[in-house]
Structure formats: structure tokens, C-alpha cells
């Protein structure tokens, strides 16, 4: 199994919340607006996946995530996972059941469906060709709802493409490759902690049916569906923040 080293930021104090970000993202990109809200009452542990071509395996990535909690002395924690991070969170809960006290899973899946696979293949082709502009076009088409993209002025659209192309995180290709190997269907019925699953009605990258399957398979899981596309933290952040914070408040854990 590959030894995976993560780069982690820690902020706040109180019971621990561990973050698991999505592919082609990062802790600040996926959770930057949520972290200050969580840090008012919690220790927030935000590990970024490797920023290089390190080969990723789901078990190893889940173990590395939990190891970052060890590094700050957090014995128990809730994991907030987004997209790819939902599968990392689920696998961490299976491999470390004595540590994980709750899960919040947003825009997730049990295994990639055909549309997700096609999108990820386009990512991989653009990255292999070092065509950052093409990658940015793919992200905007699949990451946001049609209404959101069509609401942009020509200047805003051009700026969004430019910024996306300029800020592709290192390690995106390895994360995309990992997605194609994932199947957590057998893990989901074994989850025993309180879980909130959040689907996004306009998600064109990871269809909300993936989140629904997660919720249906996890015993006792709560399911909520929010408006917006896959990149909910940019398109419709407020309801997402509220849902995450509400769940964590309702399911407190002991101080680590």
C-alpha cells in the first residue's frame, strides 16, 4: 500500500471535525467559507491530498486522513466529506470505527456512474495534454448548473475560465484516476454512526442519485437535497453551511 503524506491546516478549538475534500479541489477551495464557521466551536483539521502524482488508493488515503487527526491529538471526530471525499470519509469510518463519531457526505457516490466516468476521462485527457483551458471549460460545464453559468456576463465567464485554468491543484490527475477505481457499496451498510447525506439537485458531475444511494444504504442516514450544482460552495453556499452546522450541532461528540 502506498504511503501517503498529507499537508494539513488546523484551526479553532473544541471537538474535532476532520475534512475530506474532492478531486481537483483542496481544503481552502472546498471548505474555505465553512472553516471559520466550524472553528467557532471546533478544532478543524483540513488535510490536502498530495500535490503530485503520488498513486492513490482509497484505504491508504483514508488511513492518512485519520493519521492527521492523530497528529493533533484528536481521538474522536466527525468527518465532513465532499465529492471524492465522501468515499474517503466512509472508508475511514469502516477502517477506524472507534474514532469516527459522525459523517456529513455532500455530492457523493457509491461508485462512479457512466456520466461521472466520462467527465473524469475528459479531465484526464485535458491534463495529459496540459490543456488547462480545455480543463477549465470542462469544469464549468459539469461543475455548475446551466442557470448559474448562463447568468454570467461575458466578462465574468472569461474570468471564471481564466481563474479555473490558472488554479488546477497539483495531484488532480491522481485523484481523477482514483475515482475510476472506487466502489464503496459494501461499506455503506456497515456504517453505524449518525450520518447526513446531502445531494445537489443540479449536479451534472456527480448525479444526485449517487447521494441518494449512499443515504439509502447507510442505516438511519438523514438525507437532504439542496439546490445547486456540484460546486455548491460557490453556487449556493449558505444552505450547505447551514445543513452541515445544524447536523454537527445536533450530534456533538466528546472533547478530544
Which residues are bridge partners to 17 per DSSP?
44, 78
The neighbour count for residue 29, using CB atoms within 10 Å, is 17
Q: Is 223 exposed, middle or buried (0-12, 13-18, 19+ CB in 10 A)?
A: middle
Specify whether the CB–CB gap between 245 and 198 falls below 8 A: no
Nearest C-alpha neighbor of 187 from the set 97, 252, 84: 97
Q: What is the chain's alpha carbon radius of gyration, rounded to the nearest angstrom?
A: 17
**Separation of alpha carbons 235 and 211, rounded Å:** 18
DSSP assignment letter at 230: S
Q: Is 151 exposed, middle or buried (0-12, 13-18, 19+ CB in 10 A)?
A: exposed
Tell me the pLDDT tens digit for each residue of 3-58: 788 989 999 999 999 999 999 999 999 999 999 999 999 999 999 999 998 999 99
Single pTM value for the model: 0.96
Tell me the pLDDT tens digit for each residue of 68-123: 999 999 999 999 999 999 999 999 999 999 999 999 999 999 999 999 999 999 99
Amino acid at each position: 500500500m502506498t504511503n501517503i503524506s498529507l499537508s494539513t491546516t488546523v484551526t479553532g478549538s473544541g471537538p474535532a471535525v476532520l475534512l475530506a475534500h474532492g478531486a481537483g479541489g483542496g481544503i481552502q477551495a472546498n471548505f474555505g467559507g465553512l472553516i471559520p464557521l466550524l472553528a467557532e466551536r471546533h478544532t478543524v483539521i483540513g488535510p490536502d491530498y498530495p500535490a503530485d502524482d503520488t498513486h492513490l488508493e482509497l484505504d491508504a488515503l483514508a488511513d492518512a486522513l485519520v493519521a492527521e487527526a492523530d497528529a493533533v491529538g484528536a481521538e474522536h471526530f466527525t468527518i465532513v466529506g465532499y465529492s471524492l471525499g465522501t468515499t474517503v470519509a466512509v472508508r475511514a469510518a469502516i477502517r477506524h470505527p472507534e474514532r469516527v463519531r459522525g459523517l456529513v457526505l455532500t455530492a457523493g457516490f457509491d461508485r462512479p456512474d457512466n456520466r461521472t466516468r466520462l467527465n473524469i476521462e475528459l479531465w484526464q485527457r485535458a491534463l495529459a495534454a496540459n490543456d488547462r483551458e480545455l480543463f477549465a471549460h470542462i469544469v464549468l460545464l459539469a461543475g455548475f448548473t446551466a442557470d448559474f453559468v448562463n447568468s454570467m456576463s461575458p466578462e465574468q465567464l472569461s474570468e471564471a475560465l481564466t481563474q479555473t485554468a490558472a488554479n488546477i491543484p497539483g495531484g488532480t490527475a491522481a485523484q481523477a484516476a482514483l475515482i475510476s477505481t472506487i466502489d464503496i457499496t459494501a461499506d455503506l451498510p456497515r456504517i453505524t454512526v449518525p450520518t447526513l447525506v446531502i445531494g445537489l439537485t443540479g449536479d451534472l458531475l456527480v448525479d444526485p442519485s449517487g447521494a441518494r444511494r449512499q443515504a439509502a444504504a447507510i442505516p438511519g442516514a438523514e438525507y437532504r437535497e439542496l439546490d445547486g450544482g456540484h460546486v455548491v460552495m460557490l453556487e449556493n453556499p449558505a444552505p450547505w453551511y447551514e445543513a452541515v452546522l445544524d447536523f454537527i450541532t445536533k450530534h456533538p461528540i466528546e472533547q478530544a
